[in-house]
């Protein structure tokens, strides 16, 4: 794309199940969305309780950064999954609706354009990349009447997955939604597996859930870039191939996934960073309303002292 602002060389696809105020019934093993930047899967149903799979850790994080780059979008057709048969709604209490339940009025192109400052092929936590991405977030927040984002003082010591968990919570809490309480190891495993093949994450078989949502992004170097694209540039005219003037059903779907209204009794998250050969980089996140206890590897409570 010549002229104007540049966006990520990305492929956007969407698998979405939206059931309004009802609750869908799905098989124990849920399909992930297909197609590679920002994948989206939304499910709201009841789940079964079985032991989670073995634990794992995030992949190694390279420390290199790259010079400014130019990217152009590569968009694909969406995949839309029809809702399943419905059942009575969940009895879990739900938070009151907020302004997050409506779509933003417009896309906000990143300013400054962090795509000129961040790598598209490796993890990039360089000062230039972080400064540009955070500046774009703050600009978009100001347009939306929200305060600037303040990163935790231990930002540089967090893994990419922990950074994605942190900024997801910062976007939720600034809008009055409850934060995800922790990263669950079983969900991290699922996120790692999805990132390795550039696809959407889904809860592993047997993980207890009542609703969940998953996002993924490719060819972006820093979690701040991913959260920006999901939150501020996801409507008609954005790289979201599932959103068009003739098909607005999936517009702002990634935004609504990040801001999924959950009772959080508790809600947990899985996140991962990967470098699959076909896309250069891939970040994935999986937000889950769960029941009972899960094996945790990083909590929001332990991050509070740095905020």
DSSP SS3 for 89? coil
Domain count, the chain: 1
Classify residue 2: in a domain, yes or no: no
Q: What is the dihedral of CA 219, 222, 225, 231, to 10 degrees?
A: 110
pLDDT at 23 over 70: no
Neighbours of 3 (CB within 10 A): 5
The verdict on residue 222 lying in a domain is: yes
Choice among 23-27, 37-41, 194-198 with the minimum mean pLDDT = 23-27
Task: State the pLDDT at residue 229.
Answer: 93
Question: How wide is the angle at C-alpha 298 spanned by C-alphas 294 and 303, nearest 5°?
Answer: 135
130 located within any domain: yes
- Beta strands (DSSP E) in the chain are 13-16, 23-24, 39-44, 86-87, 182-184, 211-218, 267-274, 282-289, 296-299
Residues 84-114: tens digit of each pLDDT: 222 333 333 333 334 456 889 899 999 999 9
- Is residue 114 domain-resident? yes
Residue 100 pLDDT: 59
* pLDDT at residue 70 tops 50: no
Mean pLDDT of the chain: 74
> 21 or 206, which is more confident?
206
Q: What is the pLDDT of residues 239-277, one digit of tens each?
A: 776 788 888 888 898 999 999 999 998 999 999 998 886
> Bigger pLDDT: 11 or 278?
278
The mean per-residue pLDDT over the stretch 41-46 comes to 38
**In this structure, are residues 123 and 195 in contact, taking their beta carbons and an 8 Å threshold?**
no
Average of per-residue pLDDT across 111-135 = 95
Q: Which residues contact 240 (CB under 8 A, 6 or more apart)?
A: 12, 14, 38, 234, 250, 251, 253, 254
Q: Is residue 20 part of a domain?
A: yes
- For a pLDDT cut of 70, what percent of the chain falls above it? 66
**For residue range 165-201, what is the model confidence (pLDDT) as tens digits?**
999 999 999 999 999 999 999 999 999 999 998 888 9
Say what percent of the chain tops pLDDT 90: 52
Q: Bridge-partner residues for 16, per DSSP?
A: 42
Tell me whether residue 7 is in a domain: no
Is there a domain that residue 4 lies in?
Answer: no
- Taking the C-alpha atoms of residue 235 and residue 212, their distance in angstroms, rounded to an integer, is 21
- Domain extent, residue 174, equals 13-87+96-306
Q: What pLDDT, on the 0 to 100 scale, is given for residue 305?
A: 95
**DSSP state, residue 24:** E
Residues near 50 by beta carbon (within 8 Å), at least 6 away in sequence: 28, 205, 206, 207, 208
CA distance 111 to 96: 33
Bridge partner residues of 13 (DSSP): 39
Distance CA 116, CA 69 (A): 5
User: Is the preceding omega at residue 222 within 30 degrees of 0, hence cis?
Assistant: no
Tell me which residue of 10, 12, 40, 33 sits closest to 254, measured CA to CA.
40
pLDDT for res 54: 38
Does residue 214 sit within a domain?
A: yes
């Amino acid at each position: 794309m010549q002229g104007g602002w540049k966006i990520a060389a990305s492929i956007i696809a969407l698998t979405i199940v939206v059931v309004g105020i009802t609750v869908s019934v799905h098989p124990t093993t849920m399909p992930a969305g297909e197609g590679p930047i920002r994948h989206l899967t939304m499910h709201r149903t009841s789940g079964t309780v079985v032991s989670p799979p073995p634990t794992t850790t995030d992949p190694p994080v390279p420390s290199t950064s790259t010079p400014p780059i130019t990217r152009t979008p590569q968009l694909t057709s969406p995949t839309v999954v029809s809702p399943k048969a419905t059942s009575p709604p969940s009895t879990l209490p739900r938070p009151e609706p907020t302004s997050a339940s409506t779509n933003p009025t417009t896309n906000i192109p990143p300013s400054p354009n962090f795509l000129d400052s961040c790598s598209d092929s490796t993890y990039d936590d360089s000062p230039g990349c972080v400064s540009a991405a955070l500046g774009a977030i703050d600009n978009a927040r100001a347009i939306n009447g929200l305060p600037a984002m303040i990163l935790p003082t231990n930002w540089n010591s967090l893994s990419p997955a922990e950074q994605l968990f942190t900024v997801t919570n910062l976007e939720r809490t600034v809008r009055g939604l409850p934060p995800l309480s922790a990263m669950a190891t079983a969900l991290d495993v699922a996120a790692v597996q999805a990132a390795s093949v550039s696809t959407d994450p889904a809860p592993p078989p047997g993980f207890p859930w009542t609703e969940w949502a998953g996002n993924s992004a490719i060819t972006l170097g820093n979690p701040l870039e991913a959260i920006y694209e999901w939150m501020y540039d996801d409507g008609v005219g954005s790289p979201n191939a599932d959103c068009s003037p003739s098909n607005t059903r999936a517009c702002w779907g990634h935004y609504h996934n990040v801001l999924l209204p959950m009772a959080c009794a508790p809600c947990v998250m899985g996140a991962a960073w990967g470098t699959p050969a076909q896309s250069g980089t891939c970040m994935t996140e999986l937000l889950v309303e769960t029941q009972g206890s899960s094996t945790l590897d990083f909590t929001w409570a332990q991050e509070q002292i740095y905020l």
